[in-house]
């Protein structure tokens, strides 16, 4: 087949599939002369008319010259993101699951993670920092955790300064400082002798943004804890392989994952509310 005829068919196909914009009135005049290879001129015009209504099959225009058209660039459409929470294919009742794993304990551990996240948001991420923020900070000493107020004296010297005195526990100064930094309260502790001075930052836009980043950090840690809980119970579930059908174990595993994803969604919603509260009118 002649290349020009092949080009003509490509044009017709693209018109048919919508790859060109609307046909201009002079469009038909600029088709190659090889269009005469159609059985008749009206047949070709009818085909174009089906693609675009502004072509009159009874038109008396001539078919000469080369072809000019307006091409529309087609971009690939982004694939739809997968839903974070996918329901299990087969429903398994709580009673059936309790026969194999301790579902009550699983749910309790999941809920406790969100409860702790709520406590952290309330105590650690406050625009107005007070001594209450430091009362809940835990310090790990010799594989044991202690509240900071049990090993140090916490005093608010003035509205812009908090002092932590470790005169009787000087050996824990580096550990306490590190715990304060990791608390996510967006503060900068300074050590002087046996005392840690903590300047209270002003409520600025930068401070609000730092607290929002800390809110995300807390949320990410909670989600990681949820994954660890789910993985631990999944291992317990797989330990029963052979005693129960593989389909039942798989359905229970999907149910556990579904519940974990639900808790993760709750954690993200809590984070969004906290960030909105921290940003206030700054957003």
Q: Are residues 180 and 135 in the same domain?
A: yes
pTM given for the model: 0.58
Instruction: Give the chain's mean pLDDT.
Output: 76
The verdict on 238 and 98 lying in the same domain is yes
Confidence band of 125 (pLDDT split at 50, 70, 90): confident
Triad 148, 154, 160: Cα angle to 5°: 125
Kindly state whether residue 264 falls inside one of the protein's structural domains: yes
Same domain, 51 and 19: yes
Q: What is the mean pLDDT of residues 19-36?
A: 46
CA distances from 91 to 106, 131, 231 (A): 18, 49, 20
Is 82 part of a structural domain of the chain? no
The CATH code of the domain that includes 98 is: 1.10.132
Residue pair 256/237 in contact (Cβ under 8 Å)? The answer is yes
- Read off the pLDDT of residues 58-115 as tens digits, 9 standing for 90 and up: 554 444 444 444 444 454 555 454 445 567 677 778 888 888 899 999 999 999 999 9
Same domain, yes or no, for 176 and 140? yes
Same domain, 149 and 261: no
User: Residue 65 and residue 50: Cα distance in Å, rounded?
Assistant: 23
Residue at a domain's end among 184, 199, 214 = 199
Q: Which domain holds residue 263?
A: 94-117+204-282
Rounded-to-integer distance, Cα 86 and Cα 81, Å: 12
Residues 14, 109 share a domain: no
Residues 209, 277 within the same domain: yes
Cα–Cα distance measured from residue 201 to residue 208, given in angstroms and rounded to the nearest whole number: 10
The pLDDT value recorded for residue 117 is 94
User: Which domain CATH number covers 159?
Assistant: 3.30.1360.40
The pLDDT of residue 194: 87
Alpha helices in 41-172, H assignment, sequence order: 41-51, 94-98, 103-124, 132-135, 148-151
Q: Do 109 and 171 belong to one domain?
A: no
With a pLDDT cut of 90, the percent of the chain lying above it is 24
Annotate 225-248 with DSSP letters as a single string.
HHHHHHHHHHHHHHTTBTTB-HHH
Whether residue 67 sits in one domain with residue 135: no
Three-state DSSP class for 114?
helix
Looking at the structure of the chain, the number of domains it has is 3
CB within 8 Å of 162: residues ≥ 6 apart: 129, 130, 131, 134, 154, 155, 156, 197, 198, 200
CB atoms within 10 A of CB 219: 22
């Amino acid at each position: 087949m002649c290349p020009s005829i092949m080009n003509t068919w490509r044009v017709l196909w693209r018109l048919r599939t919508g790859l060109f914009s609307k046909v201009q009135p002079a469009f038909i005049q600029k088709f190659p002369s090889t269009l005469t290879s159609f059985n008749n001129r009206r047949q070709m015009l009818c085909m174009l008319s089906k693609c675009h209504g502004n072509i009159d099959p009874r038109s008396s225009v001539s078919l000469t010259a080369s072809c000019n058209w307006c091409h529309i660039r087609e971009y690939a459409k982004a694939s739809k993101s997968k839903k974070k929470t996918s329901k299990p294919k087969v429903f398994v009742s709580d009673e059936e699951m309790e026969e194999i794993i301790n579902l009550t304990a699983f749910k309790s551990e999941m809920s406790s993670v969100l409860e702790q996240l709520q406590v952290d948001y309330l105590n650690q991420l406050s625009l107005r920092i007070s001594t209450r923020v430091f009362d809940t900070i835990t310090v790990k000493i010799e594989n044991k955790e202690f509240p900071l107020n049990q090993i140090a004296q916490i005093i608010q010297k003035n509205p812009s300064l908090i002092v932590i005195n470790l005169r009787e526990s000087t050996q824990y100064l580096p550990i306490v400082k590190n715990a304060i930094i990791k608390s996510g309260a967006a503060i900068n502790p300074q050590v002087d002798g046996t005392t840690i001075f903590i300047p209270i930052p002003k409520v600025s836009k930068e401070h609000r943004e730092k607290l929002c980043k800390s809110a995300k950090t807390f949320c990410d840690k909670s989600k990681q804890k949820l994954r660890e809980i789910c993985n631990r119970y999944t291992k317990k579930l797989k330990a029963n392989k052979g005693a129960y059908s593989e389909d039942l174990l798989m359905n229970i595993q999907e149910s556990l994952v579904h519940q974990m994803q639900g808790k993760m969604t709750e954690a993200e919603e809590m984070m969004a509310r906290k960030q909105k509260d921290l940003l206030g009118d700054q957003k």
